[in-house]
């Protein structure tokens, strides 16, 4: 005798197919299931459902299990061994399937550029993403926007120019992870999530730097052509790792030193707040860039030559540009000076020179961590754009 399922008054238009599917799951193709129930249209519904699902419908509401479902999944494979296991290579055929899911054949392949773990991965990515989530902040409340305005006009002008420069840099820093994000296979979701968080960080930085620039002024400062050329060269780099290396290891690493400099010499609470908050986020971006580049070099030590080549190409492209905007450099001197006495300006000048030395030392440390010998790290750091980023 075949097993029997009683649907009582439930029809297939009310979810009864779930109960039938559940009962059929215990049967092999060719085995029968008797269906009972007193819904007035049950027999008609059941016959139609059997045709659509590939089962045989017999009189007296008997369902003979078909093989269509088994055939549907006969050649299916999982998108990786398990949800917690990251595959060495993500197949285009997996499409947008969740990692570890059983993927039905026949879906559209995913057209992405980066689908190999060692081209995009860093073991620290999940930890950094969790940290990014835990350290979210609201631009409206995290900054003391209503503090007293005691900044002299000349110093305020310097702050506005520096903030204008920061906005310009952060716009490039937003576009690059957003571009990388769209070209990455979602199998590597932790990296994708981290890049999304990074883009969100940069969006907040744009907001707070712009808001600080316009806090007591109606217009922003100036934008030099050389600075924009330097940033454009970052956008022009098509390779995932090389773009991450130029942006995060070299550029944002130096940018982080700049934010600390501005925070240290901030003439008011708002300026100190915006640079502190942005610096906290940028430290994560640098950490991922360094960890990812080091991961690539560990798997392929010859990649060091490609990293150096990217720096040299960028240097040759920018060699005839003016480098750091004069107005930005002078504003940093004035900010550190705090006044217009010769002693103060001399002090400010020395502080900016020290900042550039600190940036160079930091770049060398990161380059050595990635795998460059000390002498080569010094040479590569010296080729880094004079625009800091």
Task: Write the pLDDT tens digit of every residue in 331-346.
Answer: 999 999 999 999 999 9
Mark whether 176 and 303 lie in a shared domain.
Answer: yes
Mark whether 97 and 149 lie in a shared domain.
Answer: no
- What pLDDT is stored for residue 356 in this prediction? 95
Mark whether 280 and 364 lie in a shared domain.
Answer: yes
* Domain presence at residue 389: no
Domain of 33: which CATH number? 3.30.110.40
* Interval 186-210: pLDDT, tens: 999 999 999 999 999 999 999 999 9
* Domain presence at residue 361: yes
| Of the candidates 386, 235, 385, the residue with the CA atom closest to the CA atom of residue 311 | 385
* Interval 288-344: pLDDT, tens: 999 999 999 999 999 999 999 999 999 998 887 767 889 999 999 999 999 999 999
- What pLDDT is stored for residue 14 in this prediction? 96
Mark whether 222 and 322 lie in a shared domain.
Answer: yes
Confidence band for 169, pLDDT divided at 50, 70 and 90: very high
State what percent of residues in the chain have pLDDT above 70: 100
Name the percent of the chain in helix, strand, coil, to the closest 5: 60, 5, 35
Mark whether 65 and 9 lie in a shared domain.
Answer: yes
Last residue of a domain, one of 95, 111, 127: 111
Mark whether 176 and 266 lie in a shared domain.
Answer: yes
* Domain presence at residue 323: yes
Mark whether 55 and 80 lie in a shared domain.
Answer: no
Q: How far apart are the first and last CA of the chain?
A: 77
Mark whether 19 and 87 lie in a shared domain.
Answer: no
Lowest mean pLDDT: which of 55-64, 74-83, 112-121, 172-181? 74-83
Last residue of a domain, one of 16, 46, 71: 71
Q: Residue 148, SS3?
A: coil
What CA–CA distance (Å, rounded) separates 173 from 263?
20
Mean pLDDT, all residues of the chain: 94
Task: Report the number of distinct structural domains present in the chain.
Answer: 3
- What pLDDT is stored for residue 91 in this prediction? 96
Q: Residue 36, SS3?
A: strand
* Interval 355-381: pLDDT, tens: 999 999 999 999 999 999 999 999 999
Last residue of a domain, one of 59, 90, 111: 111
234 in Cβ contact with 103 (< 8 Å): no
* Domain presence at residue 21: yes
* Domain presence at residue 388: no
* Domain presence at residue 387: no
Mark whether 131 and 62 lie in a shared domain.
Answer: no
Mark whether 187 and 263 lie in a shared domain.
Answer: yes
Mark whether 51 and 93 lie in a shared domain.
Answer: no
State what percent of residues in the chain have pLDDT above 90: 88
Q: Please provide the size of the chain in residues.
A: 389
* Domain presence at residue 150: yes
Tokens of 142: 């995290």
Count of beta carbons in the 10 Å neighbourhood of residue 65: 23
Tokens of 120: 């995009």
Residue 256 domain boundaries:
117-382
167 in Cβ contact with 188 (< 8 Å): no
Count of beta carbons in the 10 Å neighbourhood of residue 149: 10
Lowest mean pLDDT: which of 69-78, 150-159, 266-275? 69-78
* Domain presence at residue 145: yes
- What pLDDT is stored for residue 322 in this prediction? 67
Mark whether 54 and 172 lie in a shared domain.
Answer: no
Chain position carrying tokens 């097993």: 3
């Amino acid at each position: 005798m075949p097993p029997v399922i009683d649907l009582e008054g439930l029809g297939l238009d009310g979810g009864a197919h779930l109960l039938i599917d559940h009962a059929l799951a215990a049967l092999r193709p060719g085995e029968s299931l008797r269906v009972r129930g007193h819904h007035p249209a049950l027999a008609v519904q059941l016959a139609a459902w059997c045709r659509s699902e590939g089962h045989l419908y017999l009189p007296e509401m008997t369902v003979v299990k078909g093989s269509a479902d088994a055939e549907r999944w006969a050649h299916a494979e999982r998108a990786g061994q398990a949800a917690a296991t990251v595959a060495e290579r993500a197949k285009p055929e997996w499409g947008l399937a969740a990692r570890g899911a059983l993927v039905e054949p026949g879906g559209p392949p995913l057209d992405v550029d980066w689908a190999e773990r060692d081209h995009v991965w860093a073991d620290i990515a999940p930890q950094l993403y969790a940290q990014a989530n835990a350290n979210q902040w609201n631009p409206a409340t995290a900054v003391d926007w209503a503090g007293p305005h005691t900044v002299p006009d000349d110093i305020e002008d310097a702050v506005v120019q520096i903030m204008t420069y920061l906005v310009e840099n952060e716009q490039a820093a937003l576009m690059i992870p957003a571009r990388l994000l769209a070209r990455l296979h979602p199998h590597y979701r932790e990296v994708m999530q981290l890049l999304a968080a990074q883009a969100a960080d940069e969006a907040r930085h744009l907001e707070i730097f712009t808001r600080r620039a316009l806090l007591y002024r109606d217009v922003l400062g100036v934008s030099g052509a050389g600075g924009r050329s330097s940033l454009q060269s970052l956008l022009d780099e098509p390779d995932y790792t090389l773009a991450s290396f130029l942006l995060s290891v070299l550029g944002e690493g130096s940018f982080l030193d700049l934010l600390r400099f501005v925070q240290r010499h901030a003439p008011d609470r708002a300026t100190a707040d915006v640079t502190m908050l942005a610096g906290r986020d940028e430290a994560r971006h640098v950490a991922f860039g360094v960890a990812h580049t080091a991961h690539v070099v560990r798997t392929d030590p010859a990649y060091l030559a490609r990293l150096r080549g990217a720096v040299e190409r960028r240097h040759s492209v920018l060699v005839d540009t003016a480098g750091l905007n004069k107005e930005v450099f002078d504003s940093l001197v004035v900010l550190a000076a705090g006044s217009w006495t010769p002693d103060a300006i001399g002090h400010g000048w020395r502080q900016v020179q020290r900042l550039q030395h600190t940036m160079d030392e930091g770049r060398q440390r990161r380059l050595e961590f990635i795998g460059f010998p000390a002498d080569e790290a010094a040479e590569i750091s010296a080729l880094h754009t004079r625009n800091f980023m």
